[in-house]
Structures are given as structure tokens and as C-alpha cells.
Structure 1
């Protein structure tokens, strides 16, 4: 059987004992190794054999009956990840079947096992993240400069001038310590507000943004699913690398509230990872990465339209694609942009 060769190849990569694997079964190192090594060997099979729950059960049985292939204590974790992959591919079909309305897709209804757990896991993850630029970038600090440069250029197309967003006030959603505010928003806007669920990040932001701190009007310590922007307050609402921490229904509701928080000609900038197919669940930080179809469905149903979109350049090929979207209310006349 073809998949046995993949399993044995994966097994040969491990130098640690089964006991060591068990002790580290929820570590970031193991999780990344599973994603990068083990499941790469399954990609070609997924193109031919959809992984529904029945197939996953069969694979699980094969794990138990193949001596020395992999420890039984490790099977539960593998089956969980396999289930996520199976649901990832089924989410595409669910999206098409629910064309008349938005409901929670497969990953954000079945896999997360409840909204409270989904959000609680993310908060626990960020309690361990240092309040530094490196922490905000997930230790990929080398990507910060190309990210900032692309964001500046994209924003410039939609602010200033007749029929465009103004430059009075911007909101930085999921701001962390204010990396985007410092390098992208504060040089353009008269005032900026930050919102983040982590109080420790917002406290550090006051030091991090000290040079331009007089332009920071307020710090809001809220989770985005609980935050409502004041009506008609902002010229630009910036949402970067945080939409994946909201369930589909909460993201839809939040985008709708952000739409109501815009001034005339205001825009929402949504910047995030975009999956190539379906929806990807990341167990390590309790987030989802949606594909273009799912994102655009949520955008449309929130009463927003895509004014412009661009792919982030300058990131390594192995990175998940990052896209920038400029969104405005469907009630807003078409704006002029380059």
C-alpha cells in the first residue's frame, strides 16, 4: 500500500524514543514536524482519496495493527490532525452547499469543539508570547520589513484625496504591541486607536509607541468578538493576522460592526494568510486559515465589497500566501484608487 511507504519514511526521521515523543506530544516542535514531514507525504493521496471520517478510521486501525510503525499513545494525536485535514477538504463542499446563507463551516463548528474552548486556547497561547516585535511576528522578524513596506504601499492607494478615505483616525485591530500602528498607521493618521485582547501587549504598546504616543488616542482591551467600534468614527480599520482567531459567524458579525464604524468613504484593510484550498486549522495557536472563496463569501455577507486586493510580495515561497483586501460598504459609491 502506498501510504505505508510514507509512514515508514516518516518513522525513519524520528531519532527520539516513543516515550520522549509522548512527553512532547503537544509541543510546537512536534506539531510543526508532523505538518511539515508527515503530512507532506499525504498530499498526493489527498488529491485522489478524500479523507472523510470513514477513511480516517481505517487509517487509524492500520496504525494499531502495524507492529513498530508508530506508538499507540501517539495515534490519538495523529487521528486528530487527520480529522482536521479531512474536514479541511470537506469545508469547500460545505461552502458551496450553503450558498443561501452563512453558517459555521466544518472547522469552526465541529473541530474546535465549541467557541469557548476555541477562544480560550488562543488566549492561553498568547499568554506565552513575548511582548516584542519578534513575538508579534511569530519569531519571523525578517518578514517584518517586507510586510510593512507592502502595507504602506497598499494603504496609500485608498487614503487622501477626493473620494478616498480621510486621514483623521484609524483603528488597529488585534494590534499586539502596535507594530502596524507604529510603522504603517501613525505616519499617516492624526490619531490611532488600538484594540487587543492581551493587556500585557497594550501595556507594552505604551512604551513601544512612546515617540508618537501623543497620537495614540486610546487602548481598548477586548477580544474582537466582543468589541464594537463606535459608529462612524474611523477612516480606516486595519485588521491584520487576526481574522483567523474568530469563528466564521463572529468574523462576519465583526466585519459588519466595523462597516458601521467607518466614516464616509472609510475603508477596512484586511490582511491575512489565505489558504490555497479549503480551511486549515492550526492546533498550536487555535486559529483557522480560510481560502479565498470562504473569505470573500464572509465579506459579501457582511455588507462589504472588495475595493482592491493584492498579494504580499517578498515572503518565502514556503509561506502560506498573504493577501491584502481593501473593503468598503456596499452602500458607499465606488472610490477612486490607483
Structure 2
């Protein structure tokens, strides 16, 4: 990713500009693939429920953080049904404004709407049981991703969990000039998580997505 790091400012500003032009809808959040939302949420829910509970090593259901939350699609259908409180962070203020209405009555259980890029965002130490990071790591350089994951680790409660769910390329790092992002292969994501001092406790591939899109993997990290 050296070429991107050299143009770090434009890498981030171009992405911000791209998302400002995207309509604040589920279809907009999913790049025209709004039809996969239910498959995605159901897969995520099954994944997450493996960890939640009251047992000694189980993850509690107090507070979750939705990273790259957009209009709150994941908060509405995955996190708010499972957690007492959810915080949202996104770089686009218009999306967060829309989230307040999109979430309806459940917006009352949102603790914070943070408008920030993840490269700058510092989650509160010891606040979160789950930090959900979906379809957004491609907007971070390697160094910023590692640093963000380290901050996330500090933000976890006991038995807390960081979950990355994202597209994985079949080989290497594939840039996307349209939205100013990259798609990394799974081994690279694993190695960046390890650099952040995290270990993978569970990993799955999302099934039943359209064949023309990248494979999507979910990683649970501590």
C-alpha cells in the first residue's frame, strides 16, 4: 500500500467526497446491493450469537460500537436487537442525521453519534462489549488500521470482541479508484490484526452472496 500512503491525504479526502454523493439509503450503503442486506444480517447474527451470553467466558450485551455505521443499517437490524446501548461512528454527517430517523424509536438507545474517520477516532477505554467493523477497513491504510485496532482493544470490556466483516481479495491488495479504498486478501488482514496484538478466536466466510462480488469473511478478534 506504499503508493496509497504517499497520497494519504487524497486517499481519505477522495473517500469522504465519494460518500457525500451516495444517497442515504440501504441500497446506497451497500453499493446497489440492497437485496443482500437480510442475508448479511442473518449471517452476522448467527456469528455473533456464538459469543453472547451470561457464562464466564461469554461476551456481555451491554454496549456495542458500529464502525462505518452509515445510516445505521447494522445497528438497526443486528446490534440494537442484541445490545442495550449502541454507539455509531461514521465519517459522513448526513448519514448519521438520517440514522436518527431510520432507527426510529430505537434511536433512544443510541449513546453517541460520532462523526469521524476511523483513522482519527478514539473509542472510550473499557466501554464496549462488541466493536463491529464492517465494510470499512478498506478505507484505512495499513498503519491506520493497525493503530485503530489497538485503540479498539483498549476500548473493550472484559471478554469483549472486535469483529471485522469485509470483502477479501483473492490475491494481494486491490485498489478501488471509485470509492478510494482497497480490498486486501484474507492473509493480509490476519497479519494486520496480529500486528495490532489481536488473536483470531473465530472466523467464517459469509455464504449465499452473489457470485460476482468479492468473498466476504468475518473475523472475531480479542
Normalising by structure 2, we get a TM-score of 0.98
Count of paired positions:
221
Q: How does 1:31-70 map to 2 (within 5 A)?
A: none
- Displacement of 1:319 after TM fit? 1.4
For residue 221 of structure 2, what is the aligned residue in structure 1?
A: 327
Aligned-partner SS, 2:119: helix
> Take 1:112 and 1:231, find their aligned partners in 2: how far apart are those partners?
28
Structure 1 segments (4+ residues) deviating >4 Å:
none
Structure with higher Rg: it is 1
Q: Kindly provide the CA deviation profile for residues 113-151 of structure 1, in whole angstroms up to 9, marking residues without a partner as x.
A: 411010011011001101111111111111111001101
Q: Kindly provide the CA deviation profile for residues 141-198 of structure 1, in whole angstroms up to 9, marking residues without a partner as x.
A: 1111100110110010111131111000000000000000000000000000000010
Name the structure where strand makes up a greater proportion of residues: 2
1:155 matched to 2:43 = no
Aligned-partner SS, 2:162: strand
1:317 matched to 2:211 = yes
Q: Kindly provide the CA deviation profile for residues 233-268 of structure 1, in whole angstroms up to 9, marking residues without a partner as x.
A: 000000000000000000000000000000000001
5+ residue gaps, structure 1:
1-107, 329-338
> Take 1:218 and 1:253, find their aligned partners in 2: how far apart are those partners?
22
Name the structure where helix makes up a greater proportion of residues: 1
Q: How does 1:184-203 map to 2 (within 5 A)?
A: 184-203=78-97
1:144 matched to 2:33 = no
Q: CA RMSD in A?
A: 0.9
- Displacement of 1:289 after TM fit? 0.5
5+ residue gaps, structure 2:
none
Aligned-partner SS, 1:129: coil
Q: How does 1:210-221 map to 2 (within 5 A)?
A: 210-221=104-115
Structure with greater contact order relative to length (CA < 8 Å, sep ≥ 6): 2
Aligned-partner SS, 2:178: coil
For residue 16 of structure 2, what is the aligned residue in structure 1?
A: 123
For residue 165 of structure 2, what is the aligned residue in structure 1?
A: 271
1:114 matched to 2:3 = no
Aligned-partner SS, 1:195: strand
For residue 135 of structure 2, what is the aligned residue in structure 1?
A: 241
> Take 1:139 and 1:258, find their aligned partners in 2: how far apart are those partners?
30
For residue 145 of structure 2, what is the aligned residue in structure 1?
A: 251
Normalising by structure 1, we get a TM-score of 0.64
1:206 matched to 2:73 = no
> Take 1:303 and 1:149, find their aligned partners in 2: how far apart are those partners?
29
